[in-house]
């Protein structure tokens, strides 16, 4: 028997429902916050010049990825009485879209060949300002992190032990780069350098916060699948009831 903080007994089902409610709230909150960020980017984009080789800011494609993953998390953990297959379909479809875009961005960085027209909604060309060609793109660190979150969500299956383990492994891998970035920022805060450091090529502070928040919501989906009881245990329960 599990007891809550006030001493009342709490079942495992109630604990799972609370965790999934938390995951739903986190996913929906990220979806709403990220949607509010996209219009703000249009007023910021014209001020980016080619003096900034990489983005020390929160790029719109990173926000779009977190938006899609937050919506996928909210769909999967929606507080319905019985899970509906459409929840899994929508969630996995959004994760697959994030996976495809993350792979495209990483291939761009690896090959140097830029896919045109992916930034048409984020880079206002009428401003007359010089804008870098990757100014709206996620950094390789951000693209990798979003891709790993999407892979983890694609493995998520409540009825399979090995897929839940793969989900947990993918989740830990997805949080590796944000954790390293957070450690670097904390080190600079505790031990400030003598000279101001150059713009960090990796994950900005808002991106780290978004990914950690997303990861906490993903952890709420983790649960160990129930293993089938052995035949002798089932027969013992059956005969026990008949007795």
The predicted structure's pLDDT at residue 230? 47
List pLDDT tens digits, range 129-186.
445 556 778 889 999 999 999 999 999 887 788 888 999 999 999 999 999 999 988 9
Q: pTM, whole model, 2 decimals?
A: 0.78
Q: What percent of the chain has pLDDT over 90?
A: 35
Q: Measured between alpha carbons, how far is 42 from 46 in angstroms, rounded to an integer?
A: 8
- Backbone dihedral angles phi then psi of residue 44, each to the nearest 5 degrees: -90, -30
List pLDDT tens digits, range 197-221.
655 567 888 899 999 999 999 988 8
Token pair 């951000």 is at which residue? Answer: 142
Q: What angle, rounded to 10 degrees, do the helices at 176-190 and 140-155 form?
A: 140
Structure tokens that stand for 141 in this block = 């660190």
List pLDDT tens digits, range 124-144.
654 444 455 567 788 899 999
Residues in the chain: 243
- Helix, strand, or coil (residue 2): strand
Residue 242 has pLDDT above 60, yes or no: no
- Determine contact, residues 6/200, Cβ cutoff 8 Å: no
Cα 212 to its chain centre, rounded Å, is: 8
Paired strand residues for 127: none
Query: How confident is the prediction for the chain on average, in pLDDT?
Result: 76
């Amino acid at each position: 028997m599990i007891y809550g903080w006030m001493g009342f007994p709490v079942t495992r089902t109630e604990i799972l429902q609370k965790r999934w409610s938390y995951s739903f709230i986190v996913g929906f909150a990220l979806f709403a916050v990220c949607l509010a960020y996209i219009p703000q980017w249009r007023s910021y984009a014209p001020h980016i010049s080619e003096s900034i080789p990489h983005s020390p800011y929160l790029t719109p494609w990173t926000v779009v990825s977190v938006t899609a993953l937050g919506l996928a998390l909210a769909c999967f953990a929606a507080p319905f009485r019985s899970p509906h297959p459409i929840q899994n379909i929508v969630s996995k479809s959004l994760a697959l879209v994030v996976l495809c875009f993350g792979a495209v961005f990483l291939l761009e960085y690896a090959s140097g060949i830029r896919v045109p027209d992916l930034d048409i909604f984020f880079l206002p060309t009428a401003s007359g300002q010089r804008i870098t060609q990757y100014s709206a793109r996620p950094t390789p660190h951000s693209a990798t992190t979003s891709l790993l979150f999407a892979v983890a969500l694609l493995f998520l299956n409540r009825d399979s032990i090995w897929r839940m383990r793969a989900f947990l492994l993918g989740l830990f891998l997805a949080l590796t780069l944000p954790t390293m970035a957070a450690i670097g920022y904390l080190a600079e805060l505790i031990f400030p350098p003598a000279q101001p450091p150059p713009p960090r090529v990796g994950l900005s502070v808002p991106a780290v916060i978004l990914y950690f928040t997303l990861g906490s919501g993903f952890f709420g989906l983790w649960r160990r699948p129930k293993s089938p009881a052995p035949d002798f245990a089932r027969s013992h329960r059956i005969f026990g009831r008949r007795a």
